Chains A and B, each alone.
Chain A
Amino acid sequence: MNEERMRDLERKSRAAFDESVGSMDAATRSRLARARAAALGELRGRRRIWRSPWLPAGVAAAVALASALLLVGDDAAQPESRLALVALEDLDIVAGGEDLAMFAEDEEFYAWAAGEIDDGVG
């Protein structure tokens, strides 16, 4: 295939696509903005955890649990990241009110949040 013609096709088709995106009607754009706000609401819900008055007790409990697991657990079989998740999950239970089923989907988030705390201390 002629490379030049291929590039021309890519450029023209992309321009047509960009034009269709740019001309999206206001009602659709508004619905997208609402969908975005709803998605971000997931994160705002989590932020409330950090405002909880139970947070200090939760942190203490989480640290105690993590320490106990480190001392008595099978370290070779248990990656460190998993331990951090266990500790943070425990913190969340103490902070209260969340559906336990959500933990399965939140591992990455809590691992990231734990990393942010570590960065602040280290």
Chain B
Amino acid sequence: MSRSVTLSAPLPHVDLGDRAREAIVDRERSLERFLAGIERRALRIAQMLLRDHAEAEDAVQDAMIRLVRRYGGHPEQQWQPLFYRILRNRIFDAQRKRRVLGVLQAWRNDAAADGTAPDPVESAVDPAGTPEQALEGGQLLARIEQVLAGLSSRQREAFLLRNFEGMDVAGTAIAMGCSEGSVKTHYHRAVQALQKALGEWNS
């Protein structure tokens, strides 16, 4: 019988340890390529959302570690939205921490009773004044940052992820934790607001 012949044939040697090691090394290389390709853009986006260079670097580093630790085994095409989902959460944490520290500082200064503690995001230094933005592109980007700062966080994220990071609607929805319809709406409103504010650059 063919079945008994098959069973009696010598089994090929399979080293499970080697195979798993190779798979992990391959995955490590893929993750390195992914992170190297995304890190600078992610940092700029984090800077725009946090408006603090050091905090943005911390957020990106945390997002890298968490992606590798928690989602390194996921399919590669999921990494980008997952990475930005993690980064977004990390940025929200940093913003919450800032608000708490701001309130504590206000209490310390006997100024918290009427809730007038300044919003650290609103009171951040205007990026338009930095030397690196002397060129037209830099000035445009600085103006965009100003306009984005006045939008809702959802609109801001939708614009940064869709337009600057080039993510599709589905990936942006995963990153933002909302529906694809919401992404489209927030993005459209963000572009409308920018169009209105940046008319001189866009005529």
Q: Which of B40-48, B107-115, B167-175, B178-186 contacts A (4 or more CB under 8 A)?
A: B40-48
Task: Check B64–A39 contact: CB distance below 8 A.
Answer: yes
Residue with the highest number of chain B CB atoms closer than 10 Å, among A36, A46, A50? A36
Bits for B147-182, please: 1 = Cβ < 8 Å to A, else 0: 000000000000000011010000000000000000
Instruction: Report A-chain residues with C-beta under 8 Å of the C-beta of B141.
Output: 13, 16-17, 19-20
Whether A112 lies near B202 (C-beta < 8 A) is no
Interface of B, helix, strand, loop or mixed by DSSP: helix
Does A35 lie at the interface of the complex (its beta carbon under 8 Å from any beta carbon of B)? yes
**B48, closest chain A residue (CB):** A17
Is A105 an interface position by the 8 A CB rule?
yes
B40 touches A40 (CB 8 A): no
Cβ A20 vs Cβ B74 within 8 A = no
CB < 8 Å: which of A17, A47, A120, A121 contacts B24? A47
Contact with B along A3-43 (1 / 0, CB 8 A): 00110111011111101110110001101110110111011
Known A-B contacts A35-B57, A39-B35, A40-B32; A108 and B74 likewise in contact (beta carbons under 8 Å)? yes
Shortest C-beta distance, A66 to chain B (Å), equals: 15
Q: Least Cβ distance of A24 to chain B in Å?
A: 5
Closest to A55 in B: B17
Cβ contact within 8 Å between B70 and A39: no
| 11 pairs, A vs B, C-beta closer than 8 Å | A21-B40, A32-B40, A32-B57, A39-B31, A39-B35, A39-B67, A40-B31, A42-B72, A47-B25, A50-B17, A59-B16
